[in-house]
Amino acid sequence: MEKFVLIFLFLGISHTHASEVDSFSKRHENLNNALIPLNKITNEWLKQAAKRTQNCSQENLHKAIKRKFNRFGWSKFERMVNKAKFIPKQKAPKDHVYSYFPGFGKPMTIIHFPQVMSPLLNMSGHWIGSDKFSHFFNEGYNYYQKVMGPEGSINKALAYGKWMEQTYWGLKTTGIYSYADLSANFQGFLFFKNLTQGLKPYFACKDRKWQQIRNFDWSRYIDASWDESVNCNDFRNEELSNHFRKRLSELENNLQTNLSCPLKSEICFDLREKYGDFASHILSPQCY
């Protein structure tokens, strides 16, 4: 366990995406849609990244975008979302759904530190944590590399994502295994796959330079599987699961509403249909 502590100290705990989100406590409050401002700034960053590449190298374009949005274990984009006043979001309350989780010790958890609770955003009705943007750009890129590399395959990428949730970004740190993180990873892979390929690529080579020919839109990638109140989490042990259920029960009593996960079980059928053979790698068992 000590090696995980050292890794997080090296990277800077507040800058890694081993963070969690409370998708329950404030989801019934009014929150403006963050889709339009985030689409705007994402397209600006994509254009800036493309300008740094030369000779229409696909590899260089992928790397430039990865570096622009997420680098050295921390996410510049997620950090921007968390700090920018023009992006509507809700900070996690002090008594969030994981507030009963134990602090540092054995088993280790960092969930009680405020900086590892991501704010909540409304993305056209999908309530997601800002940590999902790090998964999209960082792990999405890693998935792409594992698919396109020597002897690569989508199964290798999916296995890698599962391992990361079992270790550095999940069970070994916060104690939470997030299927919503895995969905963001997968959608990030599709994004990198379609940068210059497919029927509707984002970039085309013109005059030996990459030019963006299609606007990026987060609504193509974000769905209910990014919402941890729909795509339910697993926990490292029964103790943490009980802490979560206890706090959720208190919230239900306070808000006088049902908060059992999944909150919208009817959506699970649509998600299973959408992801097909990949559904079992992306969706929580509670969605079946």
The predicted-structure confidence for 32-60, as pLDDT tens digits, reads as follows: 999 999 999 999 999 999 999 988 999 99
- Say if residues 4 and 168 touch (Cβ distance below 8 Å): yes
Interval 132-154 mean pLDDT: 96
Amino acid at 45: W
| Length reported for the chain | 288
Confidence of residue 73 (pLDDT cuts 50, 70, 90): low
Confidence of residue 129 (pLDDT cuts 50, 70, 90): very high
Q: Above 80 in pLDDT, residue 251?
A: yes
φ, ψ of residue 237 to 5 degrees: the values are -155, 175
* DSSP conformational letter for 33: B
Amino acid at 57: S
Question: What are 18's two structure tokens?
Answer: 């081993």
Looking at beta carbons, which pairs linking 200-204 to residues 24 or more positions away fall under 8 Å?
A: 202/46, 203/50, 203/61
The whole-angstrom separation of Cα 157 and Cα 230 is 24
Nearest Cα residue to 259 out of 288, 217, 221, 230: 230
Q: Above 70 in pLDDT, residue 72?
A: no
Q: Which pTM does this prediction carry?
A: 0.90
**Residue written as token pair 């550095």:** 168
Interval 143-157 mean pLDDT: 96
Model confidence pLDDT, tens digit, residues 1-14: 445 444 444 444 43
| Total Cβ atoms within 10 A of residue 150 | 4
Confidence of residue 112 (pLDDT cuts 50, 70, 90): very low
The whole-angstrom separation of Cα 134 and Cα 69 is 8
Strands, E, within 124-265: which ranges? 126-129, 176-177, 203-206, 209-212, 234-235
Average the pLDDT over each of 12-16, 156-160, 211-215, 234-238 and give the range with the smallest value: 12-16
Interval 188-198 mean pLDDT: 96
Confidence of residue 18 (pLDDT cuts 50, 70, 90): low
Q: Note the pLDDT of residue 168.
A: 86
- Say if residues 220 and 214 touch (Cβ distance below 8 Å): no
- Say if residues 155 and 108 touch (Cβ distance below 8 Å): no
